[in-house]
Amino acid sequence: MKVRRLSTRLLLRPEDFAASRGDFEVVGAFNPGAAQFGDEVTLLVRIAERPRERRPGFIGLPRFDAESRGMAIDWIAEDELEFVDPRVVRRRSDGIVRLTFVSHLRVVRCGAGLEVREITNIVFMPESELDEFGVEDPRITFLDDRYYITYVCVSRHGPATALASTVDFRTFRRHGVLFCPDNKDVVLFPEKIGGSYAAIHRPVCGTAFTRPEPWIASSPDLIHWGSHEPLVIPEGDVRRGRAGAGAPPIRVAQGWLEIYHGNIRPSLPGEVGAYYGAAILLDAEKPARVVKRSSEPFLVPEADFEVGGFVSNVVFPTGTAPAGDVVRVYYGAADAYVAVAEFSEREILNSLISI
């Protein structure tokens, strides 16, 4: 059974946002965390920016400087670097990589969820050496009367996942790093399972015994995590390069519905491969067990703003909001835009095939 997109709306573009300083430019507004906050949907949008200045023979790589508490630019000779893809450069001398931009998060209010009501001035910025290259890709889960935000903090030590929380989306409490590098795409389950908090996370194996894949972990307090188990998603016919959590899991009668992202392995150097959204159904009590899976992706790059952008052919689901039987999926498109697509929850569940 094919899952239909009921609607697609482009919500935010890079030009909708001012950079954090006058000599920077915004190159992407994408990968939003989403939450139902009161009577409206609130987004935490990742804003990627880079220096406007161009110096012949040099590349300006931005970062947060913990000593000055502001943004800095490292000017590196072009012949010392090679471009891996539009997002990443690599030092020829030692193979160490840097991002060509730095990211922070911005609060956006979306009313009923299908249009932007307010782009606020509330920001969540890097603040230490551990996030000097940016804070990225937030996911939001409501737990214990607070909104918990998992996000990637990128630094010279690698991409780790940290935790913050808020009750009002105006001020934020930071709880520190939860999963050390390399670990991304962490989502929290919206209720305890067997008396413990649960999360999906995605460690990256430094030696290529496997493609990056999600794992399940549990915690007594949201800070200390253990009982790690791999979450094996059968590939079917998809030539998948990686897979990781998209939006936080949704509780349904049959278990946990997880809308995840996959990546089709690139065929040419410098490409990242197309990203897509699909779904799995997890056992209610043993979420490391996949009960059903999508027979094919249902969120794929097809709109112009998904096919072309900072990184082409990317749809990256990061949040959902319920609207009756409709699931609104908030996602980043082409590493440049924020969009929302509507799907029938019933159609998604009916499309899943048993393992």
Please report where in the chains the tokens 């915004």 appear, as a residue: 26
pLDDT, mean over the chain: 94
Give domain status of residue 118, yes or no.
yes
- pTM of the entire structure? 0.95
Identify the pLDDT of residue 86: 81
pLDDT of residue 237: 46
* Any domain includes 2: no
Residue 188 and residue 35: Cα distance in Å, rounded?
A: 13
Q: Model confidence over 303-349: pLDDT tens digits?
A: 999 999 888 999 999 999 988 899 999 999 999 999 999 999 999 99
pLDDT of residue 242: 79
Contact between 351 and 297 (Cβ < 8 Å): no
CB atoms within 10 A of CB 290: 19
Residue 231 resides in a domain: yes
**Domain assignment of residue 237, yes or no:** yes
Nearest by Cα to 309 from 11, 16, 29: 29
We report the CATH number of the domain holding residue 59 as 2.115.10.20
pLDDT value at residue 268: 61
Is 258 a member of any domain? yes
Residue-level pLDDT at 1: 78
Predicted confidence at residue 155, as pLDDT, reads 97
Cβ(293)–Cβ(306) under 8 Å?
no
Q: How far is C-alpha 157 from the geometric centre of its chain's CA atoms?
A: 19
Domain, as residue range, for 150: 7-354
Tell me what pLDDT residue 19 has: 95
Overall domain count for the chain: 1
- Say if residue 240's pLDDT is above 70: no
Contacts of residue 327, Cβ cutoff 8 Å, sequence gap at least 6? 250, 259, 320, 321, 342, 343, 344, 345, 348
**pLDDT, tens digit (0-9, with 9 covering 90-100), for 264-280:** 876 666 567 789 999 99
| Listed residue (65, 42, 48) closest to 105, CA to CA | 48
Residue 45 within any structural domain of the chain: yes
Give the C-alpha separation, 71 to 12, whole Å: 24
Residue partners of 105: CB distance under 8 A and separation at least 6 = 33, 44, 45, 46, 47, 123, 124, 125, 135, 138, 151
Residue 43 lies in a domain: yes
In this structure, is residue 1 part of a structural domain? no
Cα-based angle 110, 2, 265 (whole degrees, multiple of 5): 80
Q: Kindly indicate the confidence band of residue 105, based on its pLDDT and cuts at 50, 70 and 90.
A: very high
